[in-house]
Amino acid sequence: MLELFLENPMQLKLREAALPTSPKNNEVKMSIIYGGICGSDLRVYKGSISYAKYPIRPGHEVLGTVIEAGVDTNCTVGTRAVIFPNTFCGKCEFCKAGKTNICKHKQPLGVAVDGVFAQEVIIDAKYVVPVPEEMASERAILIEPFAVTVHALKKANINKGTKLAIIGSGTEGLLSVALALHLGAEVTVIDVNPVKLELAKKFGPVSVFTPQEIKDQVFDVVLEAAGVKSSVEQAMQIVKPGGVMVALGITGDSVNLSPIHIVRSEISILGSIIYTKQDFADAIAYLSNPDFFVDPIVSKIVPVNQFQEAFNDAATGNFAKIVLEF
Ligand SMILES: [Zn+2]
Ligand SMILES: [Zn+2]
């Protein structure tokens, strides 16, 4: 079978690997259909995540079919499923409180441990999430990245008429546009890239601006999904008094925050990291609704042997989700 493999940063290849053996009692074997290229895959590829391990098989966003199931699993052969790609221990105080997303022992697949960009993989059944039969595979591949959005938007109370600004229109930003419009929010999108702003407009009635074009507008909720210093600082400036800033983008840079502004204006800053199983379930429920419009998210689906071009294209920042077909 074929798998993607990163010997070192920037040295990505598609190579022949041995087929996985039979799954253990608690595991399943899956034949992978699609793999979505994520921002974190690009960061592992470029070598910009300090805790990434090499060599590594990348990838965490996959849809596949169960082809063999251990005796202690409830998985049925033939079921299509996605993978919950962050391990959790189930025993720490956070896991016990249902917050597996901040488990002390969490390991992200494809970053710290081998990922799932391969034609066949074996995985613990507790990380296998079945997909409804009627859901198209092109929609199902969005469950994992969309669960990130679902988790983030739950942090703020998004309702009909909520004035929401989304800074950054990568996949998470665009999925947030889709969900916020579905929930009836008034959506403004801010991005430095005009190509992405045009893409954001495909989801429905949104106002779009470059960061420089935002003057004295303020918003009930600001979702920071760009993950750069200047956008985090702008996010703080454009929250209304009493409003909420949800921090979703990841940057290691220090930013300038004004405590007096946060205190006097009673601004809440809420961090949001990945998702829980409940967010996966909610993501599936939204994606099962035909009225929930996300079609523009998948920019293209390419055969896995075009992986290099796919990663290069993803790295330009001009596309939404690029999906590899295994
Ligand atoms: Zn991802
Ligand atoms: Zn834990």
Instruction: Fill in the amino acid letter for 105.
Output: H
Q: Structural domain boundaries of the chain? A: 2-142+294-325, 148-271
DSSP, collapsed to helix, strand or coil, labels residue 40 as helix
Q: What is the 249 CA–ligand 2 centroid distance (Å)? A: 23
| Ligand 1 geometric centre to CA of 151 (Å) | 13
How far is ligand 2, taken at its centre, from the CA of residue 102, in Å?
Answer: 7
pLDDT of 59 > 90? The answer is yes
Give the residue-averaged pLDDT of 183-212. 97
162 C-alpha to ligand 1 centroid (Å): 27
Does the domain formed by 148-271 have CATH 3.40.50.720? yes
- From the candidate CATH numbers 3.90.550.10, 2.40.160.210, 3.60.21.10, 3.90.180.10, the one assigned to the domain spanning 2-142+294-325: 3.90.180.10
Angle (CA) 298-303-304 rounded to 5° is: 105
Distance CA 266, CA 268 (A): 6
Q: What is the pLDDT of residues 4-44, one digit of tens each?
A: 999 999 999 999 999 989 999 999 999 999 999 999 999 99
Q: What's the 213 CA to ligand 2 centre distance in angstroms?
A: 43
Express as a percent the part of the chain with pLDDT over 90.
97
Confidence (pTM) = 0.96
Q: 121-168, pLDDT tens digit by residue?
A: 999 999 999 999 999 999 999 999 999 999 999 999 899 999 999 999
The pLDDT of residue 239 is above 90: yes
> What spacing in Å lies between the alpha carbon of 74 and ligand 1's midpoint?
26
Taking CA atoms, 47 is separated from 9, 42, 117, 193, 316, in Å, by: 5, 8, 18, 24, 16
* In the chain, % of residues over pLDDT 70: 100
Q: pLDDT tens for residues 269-298?
A: 999 999 999 999 999 999 999 999 999 999
Give the residue from 238, 231, 194 showing the smallest Cα distance to 214. Answer: 238
| pLDDT tops 90 at residue 252 | no
> How far, in whole angstroms, is CA 150 from its chain's centroid?
10
